[in-house]
Amino acid sequence: MKRFKKPIYILASTALLLSSCELFEVTNPYVTEERFIPSSMSLESWLNGVRRQASLTVGTVVEFSELVSDNYFNNYTQSSKVFDNPEINYFDQDVTNIQAAIHKLMEMSKFGLNELIPLQKEDASQQKAELLFFQAYAHILGAELYVGLPTEALGEVRSPRELLESAIAMLSEANDLFSEAEDQEACTLLLARCHHGLGNLEEAVRFAREAIDHPLSLRQVRYGTQNGPSNNFQNFIFSSNTNSFAPLPRLDFLDPKYFHQTTNIFDDQKPIAIAKAEEAYLILAEALIAQENIPAAKQALKDLLNDCVSKRPQTMLDDSKDTRNGGNRGDYPLTAVSVKFDAASAPKEGLVVDRSLGNIPAYSVSGTHITLTDIDAVATADEALYLVYLMRQEIFIAEGRRMTDLGIRFPISQREQLSNSHVTDAHIQAIIPDFIPRNRGLDDFTYDTAAGVVTMKHDMNRILVQHKTSPYIMPLHQ
């Protein structure tokens, strides 16, 4: 990636612009490379900027990947108009912006590691560990969301496998450097996630079991702090009067995950999780299913409910102003109706909430409608796998994870393709598996107002289980 030129912006409050994997120079005559790098506060200032960029990157990823998935649809005119289809083109500016945000986090972390850490006279092991952590996280996002990404300016495109393997090396080094248990726990969770993505069953289980020893582990990126960015997704699902994004009706009870309860919206910007203990239980359960140990998998899911999800915060929230009035669909149910996951499913209650009747429970970390009784009823491996991916969807909603579980990947952007000879025609094609419905089918439903029943057009978790051997999904079952 391109080395900074003089003069340089560099302070966290100064703009960083990334095109493909390059940092564009922003001239600031008062902050030059010669002045900034040797300063006593250079590393801490830069690290604050990296933290801020992590928040911005996650916000960008969540906004667009949630629309691509069956979690949310765009019910207004803001944000992408085509991702709901899903229609994903390499020349789409949103594809470019997501890639740029990931590359920017990757490059900023790398600059801190290569240019600032070596100059420190005092022990900087904790700062180095944090930079490695964010660099690894950027690699994970690249692996999970894109067909591949270069990690150097004009460099070769690295496959998702290569990106995850690099992330594992960075996280292992960071884990050895971190002195705080909560930082090490975050590394362990991401290591389990990486090995799960690679299909490394034994390693995924090992790190998942280690993470479960800390059942409430949680790593989040922050918003609304002094000089910090805003949680735009919170605005889309709660703070805005236009109710821009609406969840699939069967996920209605989990929305909003992010909300404010203050007069000033910016004073209450909810954080977004990037690693949490729930994933360890889900990885372990999925691995046990792959090993055909259904009783143990069911116990792992019960432990998830008892030891983790049930202990996450629940806030009683006034959401009476949310009338799903964005305008793209006028048939969204606003009363407590029954929900069918597809035409063949039995109706379920409690998934669509009547917000006009009073405060509703809001789950800012994790929630699910699955109960111990539901888990007890599981009899087969496919039924267990279905439950795992349904719980993954509910627990990770509004965190940018579902698109990956659906097997969808963004192409490399046109901006990168035009400047990087290593980008081939294959790299500029999105991956949308054949089993993914088109023409907004992922988010489609019908509402029988007379019967009080909403029916999803597709039960995507059932479809995922039916295609579990696809190379694009469920890596532990290949």
> pLDDT value at position 36?
64
> pLDDT value at position 354?
96
Please name which of 278, 263, 251, 257 lies closest in space to residue 341, comparing C-alpha atoms: 251
**Hey, where are the domains in the chain?**
17-477
* Distance, CA of 32 to chain centre: 35
Per-residue pLDDT reduced to its tens digit, 231-287: 999 999 998 877 789 999 999 999 999 999 998 888 899 999 999 999 999 999 999
> pLDDT value at position 8?
41
Who's near 209: CB < 8 A, 6+ residues apart?
280, 284
Gap between the Cα atoms of 423 and 264, Å rounded: 46
C-beta contacts of 177-182 below 8 A and 24+ residues apart: 177/125, 177/126, 177/128, 177/129, 177/132, 178/126, 178/129, 179/125, 179/126, 180/126, 181/214, 182/217, 182/219
Per-residue pLDDT of the chain (478 residues; tens, 9 = 90+): 333 333 343 333 333 333 444 443 445 555 556 666 766 589 999 999 999 999 999 999 999 999 999 999 987 767 788 999 999 999 999 999 999 999 999 999 999 999 999 999 999 999 999 999 999 999 999 999 999 999 999 999 999 999 999 999 999 999 999 999 999 999 999 999 999 999 999 999 999 999 999 999 999 999 986 667 999 999 999 988 777 899 999 999 999 999 999 988 888 999 999 999 999 999 999 999 999 999 999 999 999 999 999 999 999 999 998 888 666 788 999 999 999 999 999 999 999 999 999 999 999 999 999 999 999 999 999 999 999 999 999 999 999 999 999 999 999 999 999 999 999 999 999 999 999 999 999 999 999 999 999 999 999 999 999 999 999 999 999 8
C-beta contacts of 174-183 below 8 A and 24+ residues apart: 174/128, 174/129, 174/130, 174/132, 174/133, 174/136, 175/129, 177/125, 177/126, 177/128, 177/129, 177/132, 178/126, 178/129, 179/125, 179/126, 180/126, 181/214, 182/217, 182/219, 183/129, 183/130, 183/133
> pLDDT value at position 6?
35
> pLDDT value at position 77?
62
Look up the pTM and report it: 0.93
> pLDDT value at position 81?
81
The domain defined by 17-477 carries CATH number 1.10.10.10: no
Length reported for the chain: 478
Gap between the Cα atoms of 468 and 363, Å rounded: 29
> pLDDT value at position 39?
62
> pLDDT value at position 24?
39
Indicate the helix (H) or strand (E) that contains 109: helix 93-111
Who's near 374: CB < 8 A, 6+ residues apart?
387
> pLDDT value at position 19?
41
Tokens of 103: 């590359």
